[in-house]
Amino acid sequence: MANSLRGEVVKLYKNLLYLGREYPKGADYFRHRLKAAFLKNKDETDPEKIKQLIARGEFVVKELEALYFLRKYRAMKQRYYSDDKP
């Protein structure tokens, strides 16, 4: 694996690990799944395939961020607005 791709993979792993701290099923669950996913593809040497895997990981990052923002939005809405309609 080229050094530039290695750096991107490590950066992606750290970013996902950081985002996994607030995962609904727990940080340990997320960490084990993340490690398994990265270990499954550890022997990949084709740069194009690695780039595809990085793109998929970045998609997962965006999905996790959306999940967290939605959860925050729901909590704020529940806190400040009542469901009672006059």
φ and ψ at residue 81, rounded to 5 degrees: -125, 135
| pLDDT tens for each residue of 3-45 | 678 899 999 999 999 999 888 888 899 999 999 999 999 888 8
Q: Is the dihedral of CA 27, 30, 32, 35 positive or negative?
A: negative
Mean pLDDT calculated for residue range 77-84: 76
* Structure confidence at residue 85 as a pLDDT band (50, 70, 90): low
In this structure, are residues 41 and 53 in contact, taking their beta carbons and an 8 Å threshold? yes
Burial of 16 (0-12, 13-18, 19+ CB in 10 A): buried
Q: What is the pTM of this model?
A: 0.76
Domain map of the chain by residue range?
4-82
Q: Is the pLDDT of residue 1 over 80?
A: no
- A 10 A CB-CB count for 8 gives 17
